[in-house]
Amino acid sequence: MTASPEHISAQLLAWYGKHARQLPWRVQPGQPAPDPYSVWLSEVMLQQTTVAAVKPYFAKFIERWPDVYALAAAPEEDVMAAWAGLGYYSRARNLVKCASEVAAMGGFPETEDELRKLPGLGAYTAAAIAAIAFGQRAVVVDANVERVISRLFTISEPLPGSRKIIRVRADQITPEKQSGDFAQAVMDLGSSICTSRDAKCLLCPVAEACQARQGGDPLTYPVKAPKKDKPIRRGTAYWIESDGHIWLETRQGTGMLGGMRGLPDDGWSAAEDGKMPPPISVNWAEAGVIRHTFTHAHLELSVRVYRGATAIQSEFGQWWPLDRLDDAGLPTLFAKAVRLVLAQK
């Protein structure tokens, strides 16, 4: 069955009116638009991260920094610490930069083009804020939308090469009004009905228009190019303990885990193994190896331990009380190292 773009969008909006997810950063269909700060914060957090993981972080940020001006005034190290565990830490660095710019401007710009100029706002995030917070017509395409559109129109070119035609097709069915509700409708459809592992076509409001369903194998779409194997990198982290304190360093603002507190290490990165010498010359004890996966590489990190009074010269570090390590805001990798060492004490 061939359905008009207007019919598809109307069916999706009607379905969304009854089945919209209850999320802390959303308003329900028909209600006044949400605060752009909440939309922006949630969309940045949701990049490559699940809704379940984001909810507690969003609540914590909103409670501590209830508007963009409060966030702009916050010390960057506090924001980075609050972000710890959410991953993809460049998002947190851009969050601080963006908040400062928006506060200086007196508020968020309302158009997609102006939003794109802010730090950390790509095509998707800018379109989402423009559509959801400001009622602008914008074409919002995330992974859920890619899946739904690929199935609706049986787009056979593999991702990521198919993203251009996916956007064209999404544009064709995005209505002039309620494009924010429409975008969230397609996202919700992709997260609950037209999922990556299942296609509940009997529950889908646009099943009759779906070309993949007509072809009998909706799970074929979206077509994905074969994944490349990630390299395995190896490095060493150093646990230096003295008088109930541990030495932590703030990593440089760019690169892996930039701006975060962590154990000193040998300079490993996604591009190469660690090669730098230890920060002090002592007899190290081997605590074991932890493993962690980043976007571009797997990491095997050996953890070496030294306990005893020692002098360390570094402007980027500080002695941190062992009984307050939970307040250090360590990223997941170094939290694993902490658990490894403390389990052996």
143-163 residue pLDDT tens? 999 999 999 999 999 999 999
What's 34's DSSP letter?
P
Which stretches of the chain drop beneath a pLDDT of 50? none
Residues 271 and 194 in one domain: no
Question: In whole angstroms, what is the distance from residue 343 CA to residue 337 CA?
Answer: 10
Does 43 qualify as catalytic in the annotation?
Answer: yes
CATH code for the domain in which residue 282 is found: 3.90.79.10
Residues 248 and 277 reside in one and the same domain? yes
Nearest to 184 by CA among 62, 325, 305, 16: 16
Q: How far apart, in whole angstroms, are the C-alpha atoms of residue 301 and residue 334?
A: 10
pLDDT of 220 reads 95
pLDDT in tens, 104-122: 999 999 999 999 999 999 9
- Domain-embedded: residue 169: yes
Q: Are residues 204 and 324 in the same domain?
A: no
**Domain limits for position 244:** 232-342
Catalytic entry in 6, 43, 249, 286: 43
Look at residue 1 in the predicted model and tell me its pLDDT. Answer: 53
pLDDT at 254: 73
300 and 241 in a single domain? The answer is yes
Q: Are residues 282 and 212 in the same domain?
A: no
Do residues 71 and 175 share a domain? yes
Residue 304 lies in a domain: yes
Judgement on whether residues 251 and 319 belong to the same structural domain of the protein:
yes
Say yes or no: 213 and 249 in one domain. no
Look-up of token digits 């922006």:
40
CB 264 within 8 A of CB 279: yes
**Do 161 and 256 belong together in one domain?**
no
Phi, psi of 103 (to 5 degrees): -60, -40
- What the block records as the tokens of 276 is 């730098």
Predicted pLDDT at 185: 97
Q: Give the CATH number of the domain where residue 12 resides.
A: 1.10.340.30
**20 occurs within a structural domain:** yes
Nearest partner of 301 among 325, 329, 271, 336, judged by Cα: 336
